[in-house]
Amino acid sequence: MKTLIKNCRLVSPDLDLADASILIEAGKIAGIFTASSLPAADRTVDAAGLTAMPGFVDVHCHGRNNFDFCDALVDGVNTIAREKLAEGVTTLLPTTLTLPEADLVATLKSVAAYDGKGCKLPGVHLEGPFINPKCTGAQNPAFVRKPDVEEVKRLNAIYPVLKVSFAVEEEGGDRLCEELRNLGITPSCVHSAASYGQFKAGYAKGLRNLSHFCNQMTPLHHRDIGLVGAGLLNDGVFIEFICDKLHISPDMIALVFKVKDAGHIQLISDAMRASGMPNGEYTLGGLPVIVQGGAARLKEGGALAGSTLQIMDALRNVAEITSLPLKELVKSTSFAQAQALGLPGIGKLEPGYQADIVLLTREFKVSKTLVDGEIRYEA
């Protein structure tokens, strides 16, 4: 069956086409057209001027709609994966917390039972438990432990682990970078007090990713540029970025997009269970959280506890702050994520790529989300 999306503005990395059409066949993009003469199709979708972009990839998300992946509930996994479609997300990495291994096992088993009716879940992201106990943020310090590749292997046997976020300066942290790379897993540093020298030790072992950049990592300093400096100085390092204007100020968003290629910036939600929900009291990893005005903070101490951000809002924020063209910013919504994780066939709207597509209004509201050419969400 062939589907034709016509009358759209097509935005893909380094490409911005007016009045374009996209031919989809067998779940992939079969052709891109700009001429008035269009190919035959079994079904035609009139985009009526909407902007077509590659479906968003959220590589750091804990939950939505009052579910957390670490609830280890299959219904929760199904709900989160379905509701993320309303954000334009077509690929999602369920992200865990610093918890006992038994809880992580239960979480991955629930992901393995996903019904597949929402966005794609190619693997999970382990945030912790191998973090610096002095940099826990909203993670539970009671469950912090030393880097252990054998634990990762046990979890990976249940459901693919695609990324592990940990503190590279902890004992064995640099060695873990190499061990993860050998397993095909992306090592990432965060919840860390690493010096730039300690980062470089991890870099030599394959570290090329920094999770929720600027948050819970060593700041830029003129005597030791730390992890923030590492992300800015090293062009080949991919950074995750929470562009909700709370975790990162608008000025910092502008600075990072000015000095770093958008193809190495990954917009993430870092969303917790309160995403898509009203203000009120929630939990994160068993810790009480208050959500007020869209900001999620620990009830005790007031530290930011994940976010309620949605990806299309992150893109709108960055567009308003930087004024960069969409053909540049689109690199940060899926292409960078695909490159960082080695995910083939996503991140561009080109022949041969998966037909994972989001249709947006000029106000960055999601009108339709397609997964493998199938419309799975309509506003």
What is the number of residues in the chain? Answer: 379
Name the amino acid, one letter, at 283. Answer: T
| Beta strands at 265-267 and 280-284: parallel, antiparallel or unpaired | unpaired
3-state SS string over 307-362?
A: ECCCHHHHHHHHHHHHCCCHHHHHHHCCHHHHHHHCCCCCCCCCCCCECCEEEECC
191 is in an annotated binding site: yes
DSSP secondary structure letters along 165-233: EE-TTSTTHHHHHHHHHHTT-EEEE-S----HHHHHHHHTTT--EESSTTTTSPPP-SS--HHHHHHHH
| 332 φ/ψ angles, rounded to the nearest 5 degrees | -90, -5
Residues with a catalytic annotation lie at 270
Look at residues 290, 285, 342, 310 and name the one whose alpha carbon lies nearest to residue 142. 285
From the list 72, 5, 84, the residue with the least C-alpha distance to 312 is 84
Question: 60 labelled as ligand-binding?
Answer: no
Strands 2-12 and 43-46: parallel
Preceding amide of 141 cis, omega within 30: no
* Enclosing H/E stretch for 23: strand 15-25
Q: Is 247 annotated as a binding residue?
A: no
Where would I find the H helices in 41-170?
74-83, 101-112, 149-156
Query: DSSP of 51-64, one letter per residue?
Result: EEEEPEEEEEE-EE
Q: Facing residues of 125 across strands?
A: 95, 163
Distance in angstroms (rounded) separating the CA atoms of residues 47 and 162: 34
Annotated binding-site members: 127, 191, 212
- Binding site residues for Zn(2+), as ranges? 127, 191, 212
